[in-house]
Structure 1
Amino acid sequence: MFKRLTKAALAACVILPSIAAAGDLDEMTPEQLLPLAQKEGSVTIFSLSSRIAKIEKAFEETYPGVDLIGLDMSSTKQIARLEAEQQAGIHAVDVLYIADTPVVFTKLLQAKRVSNYVPPRVTGEIDDRYKVPLLAQRLSTKVLMYNEAAFPNGSPINNLWQLTDPEWRGRVLMVDPSQRGELLDLLTEIALHSDEMSKAYQAHFGKEIEVDPDVQGAGEQFIKDLFANDLILVPNSDVLNKSIGDINAKEPPVGFGTYSDRRDNKKEGWALQVANKVEPANGILFPAILTIADKAPHPAAARLLIDFMFGDDTPSGGPGFEPFNVPGDYATRETIAGHPDSVKLEDLQAWTIDPQKTAAARGRIADLIITLQ
């Protein structure tokens, strides 16, 4: 018994300093976090972007002794997995790199399944609107994309209502919004901008819109007409990008994708380009969030990773941010320069989502989509 008590006491001596430090983790510098993170040994992140593989390599080179385990999965799958694990009493993930903020704010944050952390090193370089209720690392997109090799004079679409014309029947693509929450957010945002969609209808067709009795407003009418025009739903962005962007395609479709996927044009043989001059908008801007899971098993390493993913003090953000410093991604940290080949944020004709308004409306749009599929 004496030996067991001695071992327990020794263990307590080792554990107590970490416990005492845990309450101060949010205020620690990377230099202070590192030895604690090295004791923890690893950190696990669910990531909406496959670029987490590049972050993994750079992070482990910068902070030896901390193994980064990056799991690439959609925001929808992250939410479902985190809820299922925590309900089962499992706390295996440390950090979520996630979008679909209307669901994250309502289902995860309100239920205290995640918590906010803003690295002290960069807090003065990020606008307040990107720091609460959860920290946004960058703004991403779901916008109309086209093939610039097939259409060298620019986008064939300058008004969203063109996508409902017979010319584009079966030639408009979208990842299934029931599988990717960002696409459901896109359709919800279109519905929320009913007045603008009504004006765009009149500009395109030369007459006032007549809204069917089973939908509410011009935005929902657009969604209905788009599905009726044989909108093609694809399983993932890889299929969408190849279908739209194939550099050898003669009459390629257009579709709602991620602007930053242009980064792979040369490697994949694509000719993806954003259709920016589109009335009333070409899609949406939404925040990509970094947040800490409740009862994260590696709390110091989690904070060290989030700090790292905001980049260093160079204009490109260095190895912690460079994988995201591509055309179509927009850093929230003001010291990081926009990519020179990207449409400037202020010139991008996309709506910025309001997560609260989107959350309140997306249930109706989800139900509408079910009736249209």
Structure 2
Amino acid sequence: MKRTTTRRTIVPALSMAAALLLGLSLAGCAPSSAPQGEADGDVELGIPDEGFSLDALIAAAKEEKGITVYDSTGKIVDMAEAFAKKYGVKATGVKVEADAQADMVIREGESGNVQGDVILLSDAAEAMGELIPRGYVTSWMPPDKTDVVPENMQDPLVINFSANVWAYNTEVYKSCPVTNMWALTTDDWKGKVSLQDPLLKPQDTDFWNQLATHADDKVAAAYKDYFGEDLKTDEDSATAEWVKRLAQNGPLLNKSSDNIAESIGAPGQDEPFFGDIATSKFRENEDSGYKLGLCESMSPWPGRMYPKVALIASKTKSPNTAKLFVDYLLTEEGIEPQTSDGKPPVLKGVDLPDDEPSGVSAVLDKLYVTDTSTADKDLDSRQYWQDLWQVNYKN
């Protein structure tokens, strides 16, 4: 389906510095059949914003039955409990795998049986290309928090960034054994790279499309840096050639980042895998004795970041509680459980903690940051990248 796209420009302004002075934009695109008045996500929920009062919102929330919050991290369970205790309302956090969230929202919206009242979604392409335009969800910016969230991050509301980085086993290697993304396509790393199955995780195929669209010249330059000659390919882009060769090199495919972290960081291995994991998995160094290290030397990028948006179900029966939870997320207390997992917040003046286990703060300025001005193209190109992977994958 061809989409008509309206783009808003967003520039991440995280207080961690100059690290994220990069351009982003979140785009909404509505099919022509989208209900009028809902296609742009402007749905009036709960008490009006005019003359907003946090006390009034709390009072209204206490009259409602409560909410369920979907997120792809298990930390949402504790976050919802802390929120409920703080405000005297009912809230339940439910971990939903990232690749399943959008489908759940659509099914619930179509049936009118909404279970997830607040959805914290890292799939910006799906949010901007489908869920908001079709009226299943809306984005709400708390009027009392406009001074702590950069204006260009408010519509739709981004609460933080999720980060994935390349990682290695520090027990076996004194430093990262990989310095270039193309090394992963060589015999040295044949069958030794651990990844999440790209047929199950759309953020990976979206990332590839991002590179092909916005940074293909850097992928090609990395090839020349590594092999000493210009890339020659029959594929549509240098990125497509890299994806093809990576697939042909037989990486280990996993259903979750937990499995990847174990394959890389579990102690006592002679030949551990090298792979791509969420920064949150570095907490396993302390919890499980893993030996995970962040590969700062990887060129052109040691990892990537993509925004997480806060969405409210348009048919929620507890709109004020949902809005109160979003307001709570925009406090240092509310977002801390995810900040401690290496997910940079958008709140002005709030940094990652010094004891954040991955050490991603040191490379924030080197990470690839998703440019969601082309979110619709990322969404439309998923099948292309999945087909390219499937045709070439060898295990």
Q: What range is the shorter-chain TM-score in?
A: 0.7 to 0.9
- What residue in structure 2 maps to residue 197 of structure 1? 219
Between the aligned partners of 1:118 and 1:165, the Cα distance in structure 2 is 47
Provide the secondary structure at the position in 2 that maps to 1:97: strand
- What residue in structure 2 maps to residue 4 of structure 1? none
- What residue in structure 1 maps to residue 10 of structure 2? none
What are the residue-to-residue correspondences of 1:77-226 with 2, within 5 Å?
77-132=100-155, 134-152=156-174, 154-192=175-213, 193-211=215-233, 213=234, 215-226=235-246
What are the residue-to-residue correspondences of 1:11-26 with 2, within 5 Å?
22-25=46-49
Q: Aligned residues: percent identity?
A: 23
* Conservation of the 8 A alpha-carbon contact between 2:78 and 2:93: no
Match of 1:357 among 360, 374, 379: 374
TM superposition shift of 1:110: 1.2
TM-score (norm 1): 0.86
Between the aligned partners of 2:50 and 2:186, the Cα distance in structure 1 is 54
TM superposition shift of 1:346: 6.6
| Residue-by-residue CA offset, 1:318-351 (whole Å, 9 max, x unaligned) | 2x12211225310100121222243337744221
Between the aligned partners of 1:233 and 1:23, the Cα distance in structure 2 is 47
**1:52 pairs with 2:76:** yes
- What residue in structure 2 maps to residue 260 of structure 1? 280
* Conservation of the 8 A alpha-carbon contact between 2:81 and 2:92: no
| Residue-by-residue CA offset, 1:119-162 (whole Å, 9 max, x unaligned) | 22322121233222x2111111122122222222x211111001
* Conservation of the 8 A alpha-carbon contact between 2:45 and 2:320: no
Provide the secondary structure at the position in 2 that maps to 1:280: coil
Look up the equivalent residue of 1:337 and give its one-letter code.
D
Q: Which has a greater percent of helix?
A: 1
Look up the equivalent residue of 1:184 and give its one-letter code.
T
Between the aligned partners of 1:233 and 1:140, the Cα distance in structure 2 is 21
Please, which runs of 5 or more residues in structure 1 have no aligned partner? 1-19, 312-316
- What residue in structure 2 maps to residue 337 of structure 1? 351
Greater Cα offset, 245-254 or 224-233: 245-254
Between the aligned partners of 2:203 and 2:337, the Cα distance in structure 1 is 21
Between the aligned partners of 2:389 and 2:330, the Cα distance in structure 1 is 37
| Residue-by-residue CA offset, 1:256-281 (whole Å, 9 max, x unaligned) | 11123212320122122221222111
Between the aligned partners of 1:256 and 1:26, the Cα distance in structure 2 is 45
- What residue in structure 2 maps to residue 36 of structure 1? 60
Provide the secondary structure at the position in 1 that maps to 2:200: coil
Between the aligned partners of 1:62 and 1:275, the Cα distance in structure 2 is 39
Structure 1 ranges of 4+ moved more than 6 A: none
TM-score (norm 2): 0.82
* Conservation of the 8 A alpha-carbon contact between 2:279 and 2:360: no
Between the aligned partners of 2:361 and 2:161, the Cα distance in structure 1 is 12
Alignment CA distance shift 1:47-1:38 (3 Å): same
TM superposition shift of 1:108: 0.6
